[in-house]
A = this chain, B = another copy of it.
Amino acid sequence: MRINFELLDLRAFLAVLETGSFHKAAEQLNLSQPALSRRIKQLEETLGAPLLERTTRRVAATVVGRELQPLLVRLLDELESSVLSMSATGKLQHGQVTIACVPTAAFYFLPQVIRQFHAAHPNIRIRILDLSASEGLKSVAQGECEFGISMLGSADPELTFTPLMDDPFVLACHRDHPLAARKSVEWGDLSNELLIGVSRHSGNRTILDNALANANVRLNWFYEVNHLSTSLGLVETGIGISVLPRLATPQDDHPTIVTLPILGPVVSRTIGIVERRNGRLSPAAARFRALLAESRSTPPGCPLSTLS
């Protein structure tokens, strides 16, 4: 059996029991009394049982109506709260934005943008999935978050990429290391060093390997770890040096670690916003994305596969 009535019918029934009057219930629902009377009659016919016993001066629920009333109150209350929540989300008064972000970019972009966004929309929560680049792209592709902040990765025609900034790879070494006294180094300077790197399957490593292959530079990756932060930890112990994205290194002076630009050529990864090609952002997510884009103005997004 298909549902063959409307929400207004159910609300009319509940309003009559609440107010004790067809007239008052009609007022409550912005209807005339005859319109409400017809709605009640139609609902009773649809359900095949009387719900109300009434005279011109009195109204009460039948036994069937008594059974139905608490159920309808609960269902309509739940529906109404969820609608209220949806509507508040739509008006940026309440809700949540879910985005994926590679951890190294999170610390750079998000604090300031989150501060701005929160000041403007104090009741909207930001939910950040801190995932690896590949996991983050997958999360966006599968619709688990509204967009992601990531870097150029595998070409996926379903995703678009809006660059925000270039993040150069730099050298990280212990203060006591001979190279630490330089203002910058070249790739050739690193040829004889024992280098600490991340997994060869990671996005960062893929970008780096491609760029260096083009420049005929070969490096000696002696240690391989899974997380950039582990690279930094090992550098701190002095057992080797590492090539890392700038954002993954300490932003301020560090007691034991020195970071130096690597020239000839400068190799960078591009950090940007990843979205589904036909995605539609909720108003809150759209606003958050706008603030992100403003923090670094760039041309409109295009498919990843067209970026060189």
> A-side interface residues toward B, CB under 8 Å?
1, 3, 5-7, 11, 47-50, 52-55, 58, 60-64, 66, 68, 71, 75-76, 78-80, 82-84, 86-87, 89-91, 98, 143-146, 276, 278-283, 285
Q: Which residues of B contact A78 (CB under 8 A)?
A: 71, 75
Given contacts A89-B64, A91-B48, contact A79 B143 (CB under 8 A): no
Partner pick for A60 among B63, B68, B143, CB 8 A cutoff: B143
Given contacts A75-B75, A90-B48, contact A58 B3 (CB under 8 A): no
Interface of chain A, main secondary structure:
mixed
Q: Which residues of B contact A90 (CB under 8 A)?
A: 47-49
Partner pick for A278 among B54, B98, B146, B280, CB 8 A cutoff: B54
12 pairs, A vs B, C-beta closer than 8 Å:
A3-B76, A48-B86, A48-B283, A53-B143, A53-B276, A62-B143, A62-B146, A63-B98, A63-B146, A66-B143, A75-B75, A75-B79
Q: Which residue of B lies closest to A93 (CB)?
A: B48
Question: Are B282 and A50 in contact (CB-based, < 8 A)?
Answer: yes
Question: Are B278 and A58 in contact (CB-based, < 8 A)?
Answer: yes
Min Cβ gap A276→B in Å is: 7
Q: Which residues of B contact A1 (CB under 8 A)?
A: 80, 83-84, 87
Question: Are A87 and B143 in contact (CB-based, < 8 A)?
Answer: no
Question: Within the assembled complex, what's the spacing in Å between the Cα atoms of A89 and B46?
Answer: 12
Question: Are A86 and B49 in contact (CB-based, < 8 A)?
Answer: yes
- Knowing that A49-B90, A61-B143 touch, tell me 11 more A-B residue pairs with CB under 8 angstroms: A1-B83, A3-B7, A47-B87, A48-B86, A49-B89, A55-B278, A58-B278, A60-B143, A63-B285, A64-B89, A64-B282
Q: Which residues of B contact A63 (CB under 8 A)?
A: 98, 143-146, 282, 285
